[in-house]
Amino acid sequence: MFKITGSEFGKVIINGNEITHDFIATNGGIEKRNKEVSRKHKAKYGHTPLTPEENIPWHCKNIIIGTGFYEGLPISPDFMMEAEKRGIQILVMDTPSALLMLEMNEDPETGFIIHLTC
């Protein structure tokens, strides 16, 4: 279970820990999103996109993506194609909504990718 006691642009407090970077959350915990591998696509999207090259929780049956407080995170078409190929349901929403879903989630087969800024 994840208990969120505060969130704002660029920061969230989960289980008493302040997180100031994009992250992946699964039943196994929280890890930093490895967006370095996607930076090479930044010029094409105007922002570092979410791509299948990252540390995606592909073992989950559902992935909820928080695209930022202003929904600025681009998602590459190949990410969506990979998810479809694997039979993973993707739900995309703004980060505040995704954080609410994270706190309420009881399904160990649901993973979260959270963008904390734009």
- Residue range 18-77, pLDDT digits in tens: 999 999 999 989 999 999 999 999 999 999 999 999 999 999 999 999 999 999 999 999
Please, are residues 61 and 32 in contact by the beta-carbon 8 Å criterion?
no
How many other CB atoms sit within 10 Å of the CB of residue 66?
A: 28
Domains of the chain: 21-114 (3.40.1230.10)
